[in-house]
Amino acid sequence: MKNAEKVLAVAAFVAALAEQDEKASTASHAKYADFSVRDYLMVHGVEKADDVRCRAADKFDWSIRVNGQLLRGENKVGCGAVRYGKTAAEVACEADKIYPNVDYVSYCAEPAKLKAHPENAPKLFRVFTRVQFIEVLTVTGRKGLESSLRIHQTKSGTWQLEIQPWQTKQTAARLGKYEEYCTANGIPTLEEFRKAVRG
**For range 27-50, the mean pLDDT:** 73
Q: Characterize the bridge pairing of strands 126-129 and 62-66.
A: unpaired
C-alpha to C-alpha distance for 79 and 150, rounded to whole angstroms: 10
* CA-to-CA separations, 140 to 116, 125, 137, in angstroms, rounded: 25, 17, 5
The pLDDT score that the predictor gives to residue 8 is 52
The pLDDT score that the predictor gives to residue 111 is 86
Helices of type H across 23-161: 28-41, 111-116, 121-124, 130-140, 145-148
At 51, is the pLDDT very low, low, confident or very high (cuts 50, 70, 90)?
low
Q: What is the pLDDT of residues 153-176, one digit of tens each?
A: 988 999 999 999 886 666 667 888
The pLDDT score that the predictor gives to residue 13 is 45
Return the higher-pLDDT residue of 135 and 118.
Answer: 135
Q: What is the pLDDT of residues 64-80, one digit of tens each?
A: 999 899 999 999 998 88
Cα within 13 Å of Cα(26), Cβ side: 8
C-alpha to C-alpha distance for 187 and 53, rounded to whole angstroms: 27
CA dihedral 93, 57, 178, 41 (to 10 degrees): 150
Long-range contacts of 7-11, Cβ-Cβ distance < 8 Å, separation of 24 or more:
8/49, 9/49, 9/50, 9/52, 10/35, 10/52
User: Is there a contact between 136 and 181 (Cβ–Cβ < 8 Å)?
Assistant: yes
Q: What is the pLDDT of residues 55-114, one digit of tens each?
A: 666 778 888 999 899 999 999 998 889 999 999 999 999 999 999 999 999 999 988 888
